[in-house]
Structure 1
Amino acid sequence: MIVLDSGAARLELIPDVAGAVRRFSVAGREILQLAAPGAEDALQTSHFPLVPFCNRIPNGRFGFEGQTVTLPPNLGDHPHALHGQGWRAPWSTSSAGAGQAVLSYDHPAGDWPWAYRAEQRFSLTETRLRLELSVTNTGDTPMPAGLGFHPYFPRRPGEVLTASVDGVWMIDDDVLPTEHHAGVWGPDWAAGAAVEGHPGLIDHCYTGWTQTATLSAPGQPTT
């Protein structure tokens, strides 16, 4: 485990488990959901990277520049390839110290027929954690790619999420986005809405996000 401290802020990383975050806390408050004891799977951690793609590829099959690619399932018996390879592999520690760390993952060509190198950069101060994720195609042919983060936030009593979005892709029974709904659907996140009481919202894909979101709870600091 890698531990970074800066004043009251503390960040714990577990490179061997998907290059994931185990803990991020400030003054004893858990900003991210604390990982399960002895976590050995990304889904048990506080946060993990999505690389070289996010969400699901239907039945793991797609075409790119005349080439058909078929990826194996990577989440139990779920038939659709999910989130790429980075979250199912150990990462290496390239550097760590003085409030900063760099983790890397090198993927050789295989079922995903392109070699690439992914890097995560963590920078911790007393008031901020900055995360950067990048991917570099190390092969000789063009490669499709997409990146994302997968954090878990602990839900506090009265928690409200505020995020400016302009629509949402609705998912089907296979958790694949199939229909776009423009404007507000369900909670009005742009105006701020309670996060509790919406069991059907997980995995819908919101559009038009302005890259800023806040979580607030009565009498507690805003994240």
Structure 2
Amino acid sequence: MSVKEATYAGESAILLQNGDYEAILLPKRGGNLVAFRDVKRGYRFLREPEQEMDQFEKSPIRFGIPVLFPPNRYRDGVFTVAGRTYHLPVNEESTHNHLHGFFSRLAWPVVASGDNAEGAFVEIRHDVDENHPVYEHWPHRFSISIRYTLTTSSLVQTVHIENTGDTPMPCMLGFHTAVLVPFAPSSSAADCTFTLTIGERWQLDERKLPTGRFQPLNAGEQNMKSGGVSPFFEAMDNHYSAAPVDGHNQMVLTDSKAGVRFIYDVDLGYRHWMVWNNNAGGTFFCPEPQINMVNAPNVELPADVTGLVILQPGESWTGTSRMYAESL
């Protein structure tokens, strides 16, 4: 078990190792955990940018576990929460929306690393105040930390967000997790199916924003809920409510040839999912857990439906998620 400073495709990295597993974090590249591997079996569970660093530079959210705060799209970059109006930059011209927040391109300070009884760990954190670049558009004092712990059997992610200011603050978070298909080198995408604990599908308008109404699940989406379906059964850029099963909110990717399933078990505090598969491109897909639904403050539905969390001064939100593999 170890934590080491390393390089990854020429970038400064933190390498976690424990038993058969290793994980790689790029603190200066959005705090993105770009690799989670079973070294013994040659499995790579995440889409890594090692051979595509030029694409990683252009679109870091398509690799590893990018941080979205706030997640996904917000109409015209404008919304009002607790009497305060927010103006976020419009960075998706085709829809005139704000997309994916502020943290996926920032360097993240490493505040702790080492090993303990739980495993090898590294923690990164931003402390936002009036001097922080995020404050211009998110005018609150707050901290956001992410700790990754590599055990002998899993990768554990713990996120902690605390309102350290004196005004109510919206807490909107997600992860654009890019899962490699297949994860086993001897398998193909045709060997892989997945399930996801979704409830209903939110209808999206021409700007990819929720209308506030549900739409029926098609046959493939029904199989997502139970039985399993190819991650590429159709092009997906879809938004769903989460519907945990037996206390688990998770994506399960099953490789029938390898006889292994990869499980992404996320905190129950993530009330919604996005699923994006790069136009059914056949090499990776993104099951994206989100605290809140897309454009939540602008959707005229109750907070217990939209998942909009407002932290009062001194309040915090913590979510713990886990990735692991098991034999069938």
Runs of 4+ displaced beyond 6 Å? none
Residue by residue over 1:18-37, the C-alpha shift from the partner in whole angstroms, topping out at 9 and shown as x without a partner, is: 11012111122101111244
Q: How does 1:124-163 map to 2 (within 5 A)?
A: 124-156=150-182, 157-158=189-190, 159-163=192-196
Tell me which of 112, 116, 123 is aligned to 1:95. 112
Distance verdict in 2 for CA 1:44–1:190, change over 3 Å: closer
Change (3 A) 1:16 1:88: same
2:253 corresponds to which of 193, 215, 221: 215
Query: Equivalents in 2 of 1:81, 1:46: separation in Å?
Result: 22
Following superposition, the deviation at residue 206 of structure 1 comes to 1.0
TM-score, length basis structure 1: 0.89
CA distance in 1, matches of 2:142, 2:105: 15
Residue 9 of structure 2 corresponds to which residue in structure 1? Answer: none
Counterpart residue identity of residue 205, structure 1:
H
CA RMSD of aligned residues (A): 2.0
Number of the residue aligned with 1:79: 96
Contact 2:95 2:208 in 1 (8 A): no
How many Å apart are 1:160 and its aligned residue? 0.9
Q: Does 1:30 align with 2:64?
A: no
Conserved? CA contact 1:116–1:137, under 8 Å = yes
Match of 2:80 among 63, 67, 75: 63
1:190 aligned residue (222, 225, 228): 225
Tell me if structure 2 keeps the 8 A contact 1:170–1:177.
yes
1:48 deviates by 1.3
Where in structure 2 are the equivalents of 1:167-186 lying within 5 Å? 167-181=200-214, 184-186=217-219
The verdict on how the C-alpha distance between 1:115 and 1:79 changes in structure 2, with shifts beyond 3 A counting, is farther
Cα deviation code 1:111-145 (max 9, x no counterpart): 21212211001010121001111211122111011
Partner of 1:110: 136
May I ask how many residue pairs the two structures share in their alignment? Answer: 220
Alpha carbons of structure 1 residues 182 and 133: separation in structure 2 relative to 1, 3 Å: same
Distance 1:75 1:8 in 2: 41
Q: Which amino acid aligns with 1:190?
A: K
Identity of aligned residues (%): 25
Structure 1: gaps of 5 or more residues: none
CA distance in 2, matches of 1:45, 1:96: 23
Partner of 2:30: 18
Structure 2 unaligned blocks of 5 or more: 1-12, 130-134, 183-188, 263-328
Q: CA deviation at 1:4?
A: 0.3
**Conserved? CA contact 2:124–2:146, under 8 Å:** yes
> Structure 1 stretch 109-118 or stretch 78-87: which is displaced more?
78-87
